[in-house]
Chains A and B, each alone.
Chain A
Amino acid sequence: MTAIIEVKALRKEYPKLIAVDGIDFAIEKGCCFGLLGPNGAGKSTTIEMIEGLKKPTSGEILFNGVPMNSDFKKVAGIQFQSTALQDFLSVSDNLTLFRSFYDRHADLQDLIADCDLSSFLEQDASKLSGGQRQRLLLALALVHDPEVIFLDEPTTGLDPNARRQFWALIQKIKAGNKTIILTTHYMEEAYLLCDEIAIMAKGKLIARGTPDTLLAQHFGDNILELPTAALGAYQPKETHFHKGEKTEIYTKDMNQALRGLIDSGIDLTHLKIRSRTLDDLFLELTNKDTEEKVHV
């Protein structure tokens, strides 16, 4: 397998902050690559640099092994996090307009059927529901049968039903062996759709791998939760976070962790034990700097 897109030491500085702080990754052809991270992590900035819409401060972006040029726009299908369209144009007017920008075309009837647009084709595009609108924007990104598809938080703000419907649609596109780059802050979405995940926080990549390796690396353990006050001066040997009034201790060896607490005479009245969720992984990886973490 060869990398269709390769990003090397990519940086984007704004006058007051560094939005993307030197990241490297490669995306394989036909892969669905998920860029996961909280708001402001630099996901949109990263993919807009790849799309050629923002100029990197430094770094390199390769498409099929050669530096990216403006021809890339002919084969890239792009759905922004938020986009305005022209007023007073219907769904089908918009499809016609965007099709005219390209020499290559996807079959219009298939596209309308795949994106489920047929019931509101003649409706004013500014009067669609959130889910309908996202499906139209996706269709506009697909009018030219692109090789690489960028989806920037396509399901943010959708209700659970609309989100599920959109996921089904993306899976249909995946089946066509397209390369997809998806950003999201829903762990669940990335796990379901992506072959590879990179987790981004504060402009840096902090973890990357297939969803399963990421989970395996981080999910063998349980969490012990105690009021911070109950711990006193005790420093657990395990990885732990002080989250305000509560402290979480992560451990693979429950016996040893409990023994440590008991031997130190800690009051266990308010102890809670739970196993980790996807969200815990996400929080752990993205909150490193905002919360005090002690790793031994």
Chain B
Amino acid sequence: MFSRIRTLIHARNLEFFRDRASLGWSVAMPFFLVFALALAFYGDNKPLFKVAVYQPSAEMTAKLNPIFGLEHVHFYTTDNLQRAIDKVARHQTDLLINLNPSTASAEQGYWVNIDSPNGYFMEKLLKQVDPNLKRHDTENHPIRYIDWVIPGVIGMNIMFGALFGVGFVIVRYRKSGYLKRLNATPLRPVEFILAQLVSRLFIVVFLAVVIFMISKWILGFAMNGSYWLLLLVTILGSLSMIAMSLMVTARVSSEELAGGLLNMVSWPMMLLSGVWFSLEGAYPPLKYLAQLFPLTHMLDAVRAITIDGAGLADLTQPILVLSLMTLVFIVIGAYAFKWSDD
């Protein structure tokens, strides 16, 4: 069984590396994205302000406090002051305010990340409305938006590489009749699926590592945790998304349908898994939906490592979830797998 898988992996790798045009594209594209984004976000020009409000005493309207009358600001409530402060430090929230008169007076006022351009402007707005509010600075090592967004973009690349890379190849194999030819041999579906999984895993992880290293060297974003742990989480995340692609395309033989299905899973992940912005304060059902996506768990874990320096013990939950997702996707994929249409 293993020698079959090994030769299949080798054959797929040969095909991938000999296909110069697509190889060039799959390497160039992520670089292009990362650097275009780094440029675009260097000044951190997100249009919307996001403000956390600690335990408001009543509904947040301009009647309670004129601050809540500010437009283009999204106010959301929080019950955990320390967590909210961390989020300000990590650029997930632009500002945190506590206006509740019944809380300790030392905890009243607002928190801002002095490094955040959004925080800076939000603070100016706040001062216009209430110049007497007490200011607290976040104590954490200040974090820029690119520290937060680059892991997201690399994760997004992994997602596209995993979903489209493996899914389309299998659909092409099925459509051309190559899978039917393999079915005429004693090869089993699970052997074929594992070979595709491993071959794609090497490619996706290798590219992610190269992109990470080069953009770290050029842009110098934060990396406060263990590289080995980061690699582990990257591998698990990639595996889960490759397995997801294998499951989605297990019996599809039209490229159009495959494209539609893969878009249907990749776009929600791109928007809801926290690639570009945190879902903090978003409509709760969206947050639950996002928990179904492997990318969400991978990005949470990756940022916990790069930004907060989290260790293995802090990451048991995302690691378990990603492993479980991989397993479930492979089992369903192998079970649903069809070599050909008829």
Residues of A at the B interface (CB closer than 8 Å) are: 48, 51, 53-54, 70, 73-74, 76, 78, 80, 82-89, 93, 96-98, 100-102
Contacts and interface: CB of A to CB of B under 8 A. Distances in A.
A102 B186 contact: yes
B177 A53 contact: no
Interface stretch (B2-10, B207-215, B219-227): B2-10
Contacts of A82: 177
A84 B177 contact: yes
Nearest to B174: A84
B251 to A, nearest CB: 15
Contacts of B182: 101
Given A73-B185, A89-B14, A102-B186, A83 B178 contact: yes
Interface residues of B, number: 27
Given A84-B181, A101-B187, 11 more contacts: A54-B342, A74-B186, A82-B177, A85-B178, A86-B11, A88-B15, A89-B11, A96-B7, A100-B3, A101-B182, A102-B186
Interface of B: 3-4, 6-8, 10-12, 14-15, 18-19, 173, 176-178, 180-187, 339-340, 342
A76 B184 contact: yes
A103 B180 CA distance: 20
A39 B8 CA distance: 35
Contacts, number: 67
Contacts of B183: 53
Nearest to A98: B185
Contacts of B180: 53, 80, 83
B7 A97 contact: yes
A83 B181 contact: yes
A102 B342 CA distance: 25
Nearest to A96: B7
A73 B186 contact: yes
Interface of A is mostly: loop
Contacts of A101: 4, 182, 185-187
Nearest to B175: A84
A80 B181 contact: yes
A102 B185 contact: yes
A109 B182 CA distance: 23
Contacts of A74: 186
A86 B342 CA distance: 21
A76 B4 CA distance: 18
Contact of A84 (B3, B6, B14, B176): B176
Contacts of B176: 84
B301 to A, nearest CB: 35
Nearest to A94: B11
Contacts of A51: 184
Listed from nearest, the 3 A-B pairs whose CB atoms lie closest are A84-B176, A100-B7, A88-B18
A88 B14 contact: yes
22 contacts: A48-B342, A53-B339, A53-B342, A82-B177, A83-B178, A83-B180, A84-B173, A84-B176, A84-B177, A84-B178, A85-B178, A85-B181, A86-B12, A86-B173, A88-B14, A88-B18, A88-B19, A89-B14, A97-B7, A97-B10, A100-B6, A102-B185
Given A73-B185, A100-B7, A83 B14 contact: no
Contacts of B4: 100-101
A89 B4 CA distance: 16
Given A54-B342, A88-B19, A93-B14, A78 B177 contact: no
User: Which of B3, B185, B339 gathers most chain A CB within 10 Å?
Assistant: B185
A89 B15 contact: yes
B196 to A, nearest CB: 12
A98 B3 CA distance: 11
Contacts of B19: 87-88
B133 to A, nearest CB: 65
A204 B187 CA distance: 33
Nearest to A140: B181
A84 B339 CA distance: 13
A40 to B, nearest CB: 15
Given A96-B7, A97-B7, A101-B4, A80 B186 contact: no
